[in-house]
Amino acid sequence: MRGTRLAIFGVAGAAAAGAGLIAVNLTAPTAAPETVVITAQPAEPPIKLVEVLAASRNIAMGERVDGALEWVQWPETALSEGLLRRDSSPNALEESKGSIARQAFFTGEPIRDAKLIKSDRGFMSAILPEGKRAIAVQIAADTSAGGFILPNDHVDVIMAREKTTPGAASQPQTSVETTTILKNLRVLAIDQTIEEKDGTRVVVGSTATLEVDPQQAEALTAASRMSDRLILSLRALADSVPGSPGYARFLLEQEQAPQKTQIRVVRYGKTTDITTRN
């Protein structure tokens, strides 16, 4: 009986000790979980670069590009047709020597082969389209839209001349006769200026060089001899440049109601009537 009691007391003591141990573990502070810090950034896809020919400095229109070109890194995804790539045109830098810039380039601008003129002659003859001519006419500020006509603008040419007719009491009457002889001619240069320079917006010159065809060149030459003055009338960009909103309308008007001007030219004793279509 006594041994049984001792066994019961032993079991109870062990149970009490186990319960106390469990209570201590439950009341003990719980350790904070370990903080996980992610420092790695997601990998970005690499940008593939290729070398293209670009301007190492500003290049003006009509200027030779010798010493002004270099190879630069350019994203392949930003490449456009016409750029000179080193992998496909490794000798482009050497081959471009002596070329003339058809248009202006800014520092770092990629070079397009179509904007270079490979010519050892003058710039003006190089930029003229096939079948076109360049002819100079005398102008003044009051006959050229106040000096606001710039290269690459389009103009109409108006011939003005005084006409004297007999009047009452033998008093002659003087009138001014004007005729638009040519329309929508591109201005190639004003004096020796072929583009805006240093932000200059106004060029006042005494000579305008116009792009014409051979027949228009003869008509303009005859008109300059017959008239008291030639006036350049500046056209709006919207109806003078192919692709602009009003250009198609301008062509349609010319086709439906063409205005023709007849100028008589005498050369070597032979009279020729030149009819121009504006």
What structural domains and CATH numbers belong to the chain? 49-125 (3.90.1210.10), 129-277 (no CATH)
The tens digit of pLDDT for each residue in 39-83 reads 666 666 678 889 999 999 998 877 888 889 999 998 988 888 888
- Averaged pLDDT for residues 1-22: 64
Q: What is the mean pLDDT of residues 98-105?
A: 84
pLDDT band at 3 (very low <50, low <70, confident <90, very high): low
Residue 72 has a pLDDT of 93
Res 130: pLDDT: 82
pLDDT at 259 over 80: no
Q: How confident is the model at residue 179 (pLDDT cuts 50, 70, 90)?
A: confident
Residue 235 has pLDDT above 60, yes or no: yes
More confident position, 246 or 158: 158
Is the pLDDT assigned to residue 109 strictly greater than 70? yes
Query: Could you say which DSSP state residue 136 is in?
Result: E
Sequence-distant (≥ 6) Cβ neighbours of residue 119 within 8 angstroms: 99, 100, 125, 126
Does the pLDDT of residue 26 top 60, yes or no?
no
Strands (E), 76-192: 99-101, 116-118, 133-138, 154-165, 173-190
Per-residue pLDDT for 268 more than 80? no
d(CA 105, CA 71): 15
Q: Hey, how many other C-beta atoms are within 10 angstroms of the C-beta on 94?
A: 7
Q: Give the span between the Cα atoms of 188 and 70, in whole angstroms.
A: 29
* Residue scoring higher pLDDT (261 or 206): 206
Position with higher pLDDT, 217 vs 118: 217
pLDDT at 276: 52
